[in-house]
Amino acid sequence: MNMAMFKADGKFAVLIAYFKIILTYRAMMLIHAIRLLLLPLVLASAWLSIEKTASNPYSDSDYLLYYLLVPVIMNLTDSRVVFKFSQAVKDGSLNRELLKPFPPLMSYLLESLANNALQLLYLVPFTLVFWLFVRDRVLLGHLKPSLLLFFVVAIIIGTLARLVVSGSIALLSFWIEDVTTLNLILNGGIWALLGGMIVPVATFPENIRHIAELLPYRYMLSFPIEIFSGRLSNSEIYIGFATATFWIILFAIIMHIIWKSGLKTYTAYGG
């Protein structure tokens, strides 16, 4: 789909509308930014304060760079689809999306994208300020254009992976009254553990690391940072892209099936 089509069928107008709405909630954006920054900051402090074992491939410098990027990547790949969609099914506001000649899930996707993009207004300056404090200890000499390109592609793939996993959970709202707990388990706890939020995936024991590399979660957070840190060879990057793409396709198919089936059971409560 080219830009002209994106503009012509209303997607651009809807995206801009969400930008306008989100910008009116400045305080909420700030609180959300603090939430995104706080935990990585605590985790970075914890990892820097403990003594590293010989088997740990991460130095203090690696941990600093990793947790500097965690809030930004967390935000860019974040998805509000579960919360918004389950709410829409419960209060019937999904009705208004279903009545428009516009892909119904697109509206939730665009809202999520707009939110993630605008959150950078806070996150980027905060990250730059943190970087200024630790810049002598963070090594960036290895960065080159091809690595940055891989980094950007990995973020896009990570965003899509999180979106389809979140979307599949969200669509279960057609049958399950409250999917937020399920989301907390699959898209919160397991994501934080296997995605590399609490511990960088590269520092996992080998067996667990292999499992994490096979599952979709690593590609939603750790993988782009590993690329940026220059820790992965080209072949490892390609294998990562292929693994993530497999999960994206699989969950996209699952989403499609759930959507078709869910619409038949949808009771369209309220207005």
Partner 1 sequence: MFNMPVMNEQVHEYAIVTKALNREFKVRLKAEGLLASVRNFFSPASKTVNAVNDLELQINRGDIVGFLGPNGAGKTTTLKMLSGLLVPTSGSIEVLGYTPFNRDHAFLKSISLVMGQKQNLWWDLPPVETFAIHRQIYGLTDAEYKSRIDELIAMLEIADCLETQTRKLSLGQRMRCELAVSLLHQPQILFLDEPTIGLDIIMQKKIRSFLLDYHRRFNPTILLTSHYMDDVAALAQRVIVIDHGNKVYDGHLTDLTNKLHPEKIISVLLNDGEFVCKLEDGCRLIHHEGQHYRFMVSRNRVPELAARLYATGNIADLTIEDPPLEDLIGQLFTPDSQSR
Contacting positions for partner 1 (CB under 8 A): 7-10, 12-14, 17, 20-21, 24, 95-96, 98-102, 263-264, 266-268, 271
Nearest CB to partner 1, comparing residues 45 and 261: 261
Nearest CB to partner 1, comparing residues 14 and 255: 14
Tokens 């599949």, located at residue: 168
Dig out the tokens for 159 from the structure: 């965003």
Amino acid at 44: A
Nearest CB to partner 1, comparing residues 96 and 137: 96
Q: How far is the CB of 88 from partner 1 (least distance, A)?
A: 13
Nearest CB to partner 1, comparing residues 13 and 211: 13
Length of the chain: 271
Contacts of 54 (CB under 8 A, 6+ apart): none
Q: How far is the CB of 238 from partner 1 (least distance, A)?
A: 39
Q: How far is the CB of 148 from partner 1 (least distance, A)?
A: 34
Nearest CB to partner 1, comparing residues 14 and 73: 14
Q: How far is the CB of 174 from partner 1 (least distance, A)?
A: 12
